[in-house]
A = this chain, B = another copy of it.
Amino acid sequence: MAQQSIDAALITCNVNLIYTYGRVVSGYLYLPLNAPAHVFIKRPNNIEGEHIHPIRKPEQLPDLLKECGLPLPTKLMLEGDELSYTEYNRLAICFPEAEVLSCGSKLIRQARSVKTLWEIETFRRSGIAHAKAYEQIPSVYRAGMTDRQLSIEIERLMRLEGCLGIFRVFGQSMEIFMGSLLAGDNAATPSPYDFALGGEGLDPSLPGGANGTLLQPGQSFMVDMGGNFYGYMGDMSRVFSIGRLPEQAYTAHQICLEIQDAVTSMAKPGTVCEDMYNTAINIVEKAGLADNFMGMGQKAKFIGHGIGLEINEAPVIAPRMKQELEPGMVFALEPKIVLPGIGPVGIENSWVVTTEGVEKLTICKEEIIEL
């Protein structure tokens, strides 16, 4: 903010309020450059404290700021990528004397990409709970289940381990329920959403994920549930099979584990994201599986992504991404291969960048698990 002579930020979107204030409220956090933040709350009406004030509508903000002894901003930053056009303009017009900048989302997302020790510890706890739910998956499988039926039992396991259920994702066109279970050829079905794999979904109003496929011997399925246990979106995928799969599935799965090893061995502060991506592509090309990597027909253009309060944060591990890893960044790495007639194989874990390398947050068997 100081670099761009911004003297205040007005924050009102839920994830940014969680980040700056620790909880969701309906209201506004006003963050001056060199003074404590003030929070103006519409709802709930039972929060009191220093620098906490009730408010009915944003038009009261200038008067309330004056009452707090704060000068009105001359250069104010709003959350331009998250606020609706209408809401943005409503807030901007409250400060007619100020220059209003839309870069709030970008700057906060940049700050959010490097996690605090508390956030990292929260991710560690999430990873443990996430793994604990996945370990119970074999116990809820019954012969004759569809992808949808098994998904429902896994959702229940996740919830029983403490998952809050809600799946937060950046971008108005991105949405998903709790995650996905992709079985057999459904893993190759392109979807509108920019996740690693697609799936047809159960209804055209939500065309992603499980589509009612019967889970069958000789086919693989991948479980990729969002691990929001304490507000932070851990990410983790594991592959299962009913009985033994054709040999090429194990070979392809091994390639993905090899990619995970190679990419996480090079990952440390200063590692460039596109180099991590290229390392993966080199391995999969040598293995002759490039056409099947990260989807078929329609491919994901990344192998990993930052995670935080939302599932898709910075950095993105993708071509042409010059961003360097920094200590405290947390990301998911998800090399995945789709084999026609068999299904998806591969791996996804969540990782935190340490001072020397990376630490795995989601520790749980990584082989294909036979049911």
Contact = CB atoms under 8 A, between A and B. Distances in A.
A43 B205 contact: no
Contacts of A85: 78, 80-81, 83-85, 88-89, 102
Interface stretch (A18-26, A62-70, A248-256, A260-268): A18-26
Given A25-B192, A82-B172, A164 B205 contact: yes
Nearest to A151: B159
Interface string A161-205: 010111000001101111000000000011111100010001111
A318 to B, nearest CB: 16
A204 B80 contact: no
Dominant secondary structure at the A interface: loop
Given A43-B298, A191-B43, A230-B203, A166 B160 contact: no
A87 interface: yes
A105 interface: yes
A210 to B, nearest CB: 10
Interface residues of A, number: 63
A190 B297 contact: no
A355 interface: no
A139 interface: no
A5 interface: no
Interface string A32-51: 00000000001111100000
Interface in A83-109: 83-89, 102, 105
Contacts of A190: 43-46
A83 B298 contact: no
A89 B78 CA distance: 15
B164 A177 contact: yes
A52 interface: no
19 contacts: A12-B173, A14-B172, A24-B205, A24-B207, A26-B194, A27-B192, A42-B192, A43-B193, A44-B198, A46-B297, A80-B84, A80-B86, A81-B86, A84-B88, A85-B88, A85-B102, A164-B203, A164-B205, A165-B177
